[in-house]
Amino acid sequence: MARARRRVAYRKRNQNRFSMFLVMLVVLMIMIVVAVKSVELQGKIDAKAMEEEQLDKQITAEKDRTEEIEEFGKEVQTKGYIEDVAREKLGLMYEDEILFKEDN
């Protein structure tokens, strides 16, 4: 009977070791998967940060452009600009002005 008890205890010990090995293997596999996914997510985070930086630069450039357009709009409304455009593009002049042409 003592031998039978020893055999049962030996089998249980081997089964416990094998079970612990399987559990450790599963935990190790889970840790590897988590580490790989973590690296992938960090790459995505870096890519999104670069994209955000580019979009911020675009926003700044568009704000500057908007300010330039508003300034140009104010300039276009001035009398001096309207006169310059009328002279250059339309060839208009005041009634009392004298036009001189160059001879080449």
**Structural tokens at position 87:** 């002279």
**Model pLDDT, residue 102:** 78
Banded pLDDT at 10 (limits 50, 70, 90): low
> What's the 3-state SS for 24-62?
HHHHHHHHHHHHHHHHHHHHHHHHHHHHHHHHHHHHHHH
pLDDT digits (tens, 9 = 90+) for 36-73: 999 999 999 999 999 999 999 999 999 999 999 999 99
Tell me what the pLDDT averaged over the chain comes to: 87
